[in-house]
Amino acid sequence: MAQGIPDEVMMNTALIKELAEVAKDAALQQGVLMRIKETPNSSELVTYTSFTLFPTPVPKDVFHQALAVQTHYNTLVDKISQDADFLQEALASTIAVDDFTARLFKIHQQILKEGRSQSIVLGLNRSDYMLDQREDGTSSLKQIEINTFAASFGGLASRTPDVHRQILKVAGRLEESQRILDNNPAAGLVGAIAKAWELYGSERAIVMFLVEDTQRNIFDQRCIEYELWKRNIPTRRKGFGDVVKTGKLDQDKRLFVDDLEVAVVYFRNGYMPQNYISEQYWDARLLMERSLAAKCPDISTHLAGTKKVQQVLAKPGVLEKFFPDQPQVVGQIRATFAGLYTLDMGPEGDKTVAMALAAPDRFVLKPQREGGGNNIYGSEICKVLEEMKEPTERTAYILMDKIHPTPSKNYLLKRDAPLQISNCLCELGAYGAYVRRGEDMVMNECVGHLLRTKSSEHADGGVAVGVAVLDNPLLF
């Protein structure tokens, strides 16, 4: 394991068994927790959130590159969200074939027509990268996606450094334990929510977490909730059903749910089609968007995070539109782009299809969906493209170059899974937080990082869907 834990430690069966026990207890002690899948809505029985036994080596230069570019990504997302013409043009082909994106866009258009009620914009996002191995053996940072909606694991990522420090100390690896970085994205995310709440200007008004009915990953969210309560900021968890039943706007467009005034709507639900089980849920989303409350994200920021927007940004000259006279910023962002290709109707899209069918193993087909487990790889790409009933269906996807990260050896600790060494790949995320009031950017920060690792046999999937596990970078 290059620059990481030596083989004599990795292959010492007795030591590994001991360390695994230490690790699980340390995770439970630090609160790196998840409800069990058998009872996803009860905290009577919980387990540790899956994680790696050892931290994964990550080159210092690419790690710091990801953190340094994050404030520019925050600015970019915010600028896109304010550019109605750009969103209209970028998403035109997608909304023609993707009903979910079309529904979101309809809400966006209605808000534009009525005029935005709120002057406060709150953005909490996470830009995710993989490290592409160059021919000379060095790594290059390549963006997978930017999550502008419900960017998770900021809470638990704040608690994993101490777990790995403890494991390394017991393993006799004191020097490596001191190389584990402090990381507290939860504090930064809370700082931005608190700032938006403060700017709203009512001490009685609440921060409303809009949450799913089934919630295994509740402890990650509780980290943020409890930090808000420590600052005497009232917080409540509500579902779409609560907004449907009791949500209303007063004449000033203040939002009330269960007779509580809402200063901030923090969406942890609403990013997938199956989250909207009835027309009433869509009405509830529109009601919240029309309100004076700060939304995280608001509808235009939600749309700014779509895969299609990511692909359009990679076209020559597009970034320059958002950062005129800032070639250095453009260069920093563009350096993280992987090859992205349009599947729109026309010669360029036809060329992309031919390219994908000729060499499917070189690419990833990505639909407009958040959350892990939606991407399409290898021969499945040919199958999906060839089985489309209408050629226009392809415009609901983009094609991206497949990234080839350097694998490393590690043990993935998962409940009820055997303790065995795996070939692993990691994904690095950088958390961004920003608050804008009117034209004034009040806060714009990179607030922490997230490392997730999965076995190389899994092409796709995140922690919440049970494929990837939490990790920490061991910088070298």
Q: Of 165, 254, 307, 308, which one is the catalytic site residue?
A: 307
Amino acid identity at 353: V
Q: Of 147, 183, 291, 472, which one is the catalytic site residue?
A: 147
Q: Of 371, 373, 378, 461, which one is the catalytic site residue?
A: 371
Strand ranges for 182-270 from DSSP E: 206-210, 235-238, 248-249, 255-257, 260-267
Q: Of 370, 410, 427, 436, which one is the catalytic site residue?
A: 370
DSSP 319-367: HHHHSTT-HHHHHHHHTTPPPEE---SSHHHHHHHHHHHH-GGGEEEEE
Q: Contact at 8 Å (CB) between 431 and 449?
A: yes
Is 145 among the catalytic positions?
A: yes
Rounded to whole angstroms, the Cα distance separating 426 from 468 reads 9
DSSP 92-117: HHHHHH-HHHHHHHHHHHHHHHH--S
Is 371 among the catalytic positions?
A: yes
Closest among 266, 294, 240 to 119, alpha carbons compared = 294
Q: Of 35, 126, 216, 394, which one is the catalytic site residue?
A: 126
Is 79 among the catalytic positions?
A: no
Residues making up the chain, counted from first to last:
476
Q: Contact at 8 Å (CB) between 215 and 41?
A: yes
Q: Of 176, 452, 462, 472, which one is the catalytic site residue?
A: 452
Give per-residue burial for 404-422: e unless 16+ CB within 10 Å, then b: ebeebbbbbbbeeeeeeeb
Is 126 among the catalytic positions?
A: yes
Q: Of 216, 222, 366, 369, which one is the catalytic site residue?
A: 366
Six-digit token pair at 18?
């001991």
Q: H helices of 201-346, where?
A: 218-230, 240-246, 279-290, 299-304, 307-313, 318-322, 327-334
Is 366 among the catalytic positions?
A: yes
Rounded to whole angstroms, the Cα distance separating 208 from 242 reads 11
Q: Contact at 8 Å (CB) between 381 and 459?
A: no
Q: Of 152, 177, 300, 410, which one is the catalytic site residue?
A: 152
Q: Contact at 8 Å (CB) between 431 and 125?
A: yes
Active site residues: 126, 145, 147, 152, 307, 366, 370-371, 452
